[in-house]
Amino acid sequence: MKSGWIEIISIWVLVALATLVATFTVPHSQVLASFGAILASATALVSMIHLFLEGHQGFVKKLVYVAGGSYLMLAIASIYVLFFQR
């Protein structure tokens, strides 16, 4: 499962970077839609990684960790966008 954590953390880093870029570059009226696209992309990415791997051990655990961590980051960014960014 060590390699699983490398995949999970690398996807979290990509989600964090995409969230920062979207928060500060996308127009305010469209930023929440881009957050949905980021979450969908993270889920699709972990599924695509497993499509090409030979072993399918721990797929659900990785999917839950990636989706949960991504959702948490995007929820915090959504609170920032909705209440603090004008």
25 versus 1: the higher-pLDDT residue is 25
CB-CB contact of 12 with 73 (8 Å) = yes
Q: With 80 as the cut, is the pLDDT of residue 3 above it?
A: no
Burial of 66 (0-12, 13-18, 19+ CB in 10 A): buried
Which distant-in-sequence residues (6+ apart) come within 8 Å of 64 by Cβ? none
Instruction: Tell me the pLDDT tens digit for each residue of 22-47.
Output: 999 999 889 999 999 999 999 999 98
Instruction: Tell me the pLDDT tens digit for each residue of 48-80.
Output: 988 887 677 788 888 999 999 999 999 999 999
C-alpha–C-alpha distance, residues 46 and 64, integer Å:
10
Neighbours of 70 (CB within 10 A): 26
Task: Tokens for 82, please give them.
Answer: 């909705």
**pTM of the shown model:** 0.88
